[in-house]
Structure 1
Amino acid sequence: MAEYRIDDLAQVSGVSVRNIRVYQDRGLLPAPLRSGRAAIYTDAHLSRLRLVTNMLGRGYAFAQIAEMLAAWESGRSLADVLGLEEAMGASWSADLPTQVSIRELRQMFGAQLTPATTRKALDLGLLRRQGLGFVVPSPQLLAAGRELVRLGVPLAEVLDLAAELQREVDHVAALLVGLVRRYVLDPKGPDWLPTGDEVPYFADVLRRLPPVVTSALTAAAARSTARVIPEMMGDRLEALLKVTPFDQA
């Protein structure tokens, strides 16, 4: 189980420290655990924070969210609730958010880092403002983008690609998750909600699902890469192989 200080929780979730404290004061976020003088947050807190921000984004007021959370938790033990929330909030990727300064971004992308491309990266969620710098939710995506720019692809095109890639991956991930919902959860009934005894089963499904989706997407991407690169670059390779030493001279 991951542990976060409040600054870490803010960085991972994209929610400001101030708002985290507000949600805590309103009873929407459980109090942190205590380790000496340190306040420690867990994946359960991260999951609850994501749930709260999602509901706020859908127009619910603080009081409405508090009522729904209380109703949802009624009849369930604290262990059941925390187990389910940890399953929903657990990170299955080593690609953890990191901070980056504007100077570091300029070193990576040079003159192509303009107000327009920065704003586009923010709109796409590839960057998040934090103080005078930024948080990069996915350093691996940033590294891939930097390498494409180093190869000569314009940064604006790389950002367009990132947006399209995310849409396509969302679609495929939804297909995979939809199969699990259709054959694992929906047979229990279209309106099924886990009872106290069934919460551990539901939490187990949620824990097992992310690595399955990730593995399937990674394997499919590797197979596609092995096929697409030769198909798209094969003509250049064939032409190169036809060049004789005399022609090169």
Structure 2
Amino acid sequence: MTDKREYRMEELARLAGITVRTLRFYRERKLIPPPRREGRIAWYGDHHLARLRTIATLLERGHTLTGIAELAEALDHGRDVADVLGVTPPTEEEPVRLTPEELAARFEGEVTPENLAAALDLGYLGTDGDEIVHISRRLLDVSSTLVREGIPLAEVLTAGKQVREHVDALAEMFAELVLRHASEDDLHRLRPLARSVVEAELSLALDRRLRKPQV
């Protein structure tokens, strides 16, 4: 097991690619948790570094410091991370908590700033203290398996974005069908039927694809 590192303010700022002045500003805005104090010395850990890198990525994607501060406050004060990420009940998905090291091990060599930004844009990832939270265990398992099979994570995330667009349309179609004849409560109750239809049709589509003659 790798020992957890601690950093002085100057080293943390250097590793995060920001100035000490910016780090102090983030701390004053409560964008990062308080450091561990040892007398007059403030010690920061890997969870601070992960949070700073997340802040940098969110800023690059056009998020405001006010919005980031609201997210950080919600996470640091115990608000349910699934709610913060937009996975409000009812849901069948199980969020997964990982350390930055565990995430890197899942996608060895593929956890780049670009891929992190894409995963954040899709809503797959969030932070909670010194942990990273993936929105869905099933999506995490599938994406990490595809990467182990040699498919670049960037392409997996691009495919995920395309799938999201299609399944949003399918979900809307199913909801409209049910709500024309039943209630919102019935929609919650019948949602497993929608999943079964999609899984069956996808399986049949793959059967058709596999039967196609190879050119």
Q: Which TM-score applies when normalising by structure 2?
A: 0.57
Picking from 107, 110, 113, the partner of 2:108 is: 110
Task: State which structure, 1 or 2, has the greater radius of gyration over its C-alpha atoms.
Answer: 1
The equivalent of 1:219 in structure 2 is 200
Residue from 82, 97, 118 that aligns with 1:12: 82
What secondary structure, in the 3-state scheme, does the structure 2 residue paired with 1:110 have?
coil
Aligned 8 A contact 1:109 1:146 in 2: yes
The residue aligned with 2:191 is 210
Could you tell me which runs of 5 or more consecutive residues in structure 2 were left unpaired when the two chains were aligned: 1-76
Deviations 1:72-124 (A, max 9, x none): xxxxxxxxxxxxxxxxx333x2x311101111111111222111111110111
Q: 1:230 & 1:150 partners in 2: Cα distance?
A: 26
Deviation at 1:149, TM superposition (A): 1.1
Letter in 1 for 2:147: V
Find 2:209's aligned residue among 205, 228, 231.
228
The number of aligned residues is 139
Deviations 1:198-240 (A, max 9, x none): xxxx354233231222222222222222222343xx538xxxx
Matching residue's letter, 2:106: M
Query: In structure 2, what is the Cα distance between the partners aligned to 1:126 and 1:229?
Result: 30
1:35 maps to which residue? none
CA contact (8 A) 2:97 2:133 kept: yes
Q: Distance in 2 between matches of 1:151 and 1:230?
A: 23
In structure 1, stretches of 5+ residues that fail to align are 1-5, 16-45, 51-88, 186-201, 237-249
Q: Report matched runs for 1:123-134 at 5 Å.
A: 123-134=121-132
Q: Is the 8 A contact 1:177 1:213 kept in 2?
A: no
Counterpart-to-counterpart distance in 1, 2:117 and 2:139: 17
Q: Provide the rounded CA distance (Å) in 2 between the counterparts of 1:130 and 1:220.
A: 37
1:165 CA drift (Å): 0.6
Q: C-alpha distance in 2, partners of 1:160/1:204?
A: 34
Deviation >4 Å, runs of 4+: none
- Cα distance in structure 2, aligned partners of 1:106 and 1:220: 34
Using structure 1 for the length normalisation, give the TM-score.
Answer: 0.50
Contact 2:178 2:187 in 1 (8 A): no
Is structure 2 residue 159 aligned with structure 1 residue 178?
A: no
- The alignment-based identity, stated in percent, is 29
Q: Which residue of 1 aligns with 2:90?
A: 90
Q: Structure 1, residues 48-94: CA drift from partner, whole Å, max 9, x if none?
A: xx5xxxxxxxxxxxxxxxxxxxxxxxxxxxxxxxxxxxxxx333x2x
Q: Is the 8 A contact 1:128 1:136 kept in 2?
A: yes
Bigger RCO (CA 8 Å, 6+ sep): 1
Q: C-alpha root-mean-square deviation of aligned residues, in Å?
A: 2.6
Aligned pairs for 1:182-197 within 5 A: 183-184=180-181
Which SS does the other structure have where 1:111 is aligned?
A: coil
| Higher share of residues assigned helix | 1
CA distance in 2, matches of 1:104, 1:145: 14
User: Structure 1: which amino acid aligns with 2:94?
Assistant: L
